[in-house]
């Protein structure tokens, strides 16, 4: 699988934590760019726990971008043999919680505090 996935209105790029210019980086990354090359969002996930952090610029929300990044990250993790992003190991704000629940997440708002349940 390629490290880039093009869509109609944006392109996604994958960066393995080991390839990051940041020393001791623990995060794999999917970055999203508009057709004009402007940054529009990112999904980072921890290489050990799979905990995710998602950001989508306000103008590009509610268009499936976060889900596309999550799906691409999940595919890349399988292809690369690395820890997949995990909805269950992540913390969500209220908007992020709605997105996670749309993907089947059943946990609560402060999930990272009750991971052992």
**How many CB atoms are located within 10 Å of the residue 81 CB?**
6
* Four-point Cα dihedral 54, 58, 64, 67, nearest 10: 0
Beta strands in the chain (DSSP E): 4-6, 10-15, 27-34, 39-46, 52-56
- Virtual torsion, Cα 57, 111, 88, 66, nearest 10 deg: -10
The pLDDT score that the predictor gives to residue 32 is 94
CA distance 22 to 18: 9
Q: What is the pLDDT of residue 20?
A: 78
pTM: 0.79
Both tokens of 44, joined, read 């980072």
pLDDT value at position 98?
74
Could you tell me the residue ranges of all domains in the chain? 4-83
- The C-alpha atoms of residue 98 and residue 76 are separated, in whole angstroms, by 24
Structure tokens at 10: 């944006």
| pLDDT in 10s for each residue of the chain, 117 residues | 567 777 778 999 998 888 877 777 888 999 999 989 999 999 999 989 888 888 899 898 888 899 999 999 999 999 999 999 988 777 666 567 777 788 777 776 554 433 333
Homologous superfamily (CATH) for 4-83 = Gcn5-related N-acetyltransferase (GNAT) (3.40.630.30)
């Amino acid at each position: 699988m390629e490290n880039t996935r093009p869509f109609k209105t944006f392109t996604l790029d994958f960066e393995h934590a080991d390839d990051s210019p940041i020393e001791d980086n623990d995060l794999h990354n999917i970055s999203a760019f508009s057709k004009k090359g402007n940054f529009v969002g990112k999904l980072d996930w921890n290489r050990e726990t799979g905990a995710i952090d998602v950001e989508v610029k306000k103008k590009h929300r509610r268009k499936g971008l976060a889900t596309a990044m999550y799906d691409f990250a999940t595919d890349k993790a399988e292809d690369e043999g690395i820890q997949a992003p995990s909805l269950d190991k992540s913390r969500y704000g209220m908007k992020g919680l709605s997105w996670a629940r749309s993907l089947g997440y059943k946990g609560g708002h402060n999930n990272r505090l009750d991971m052992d349940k």
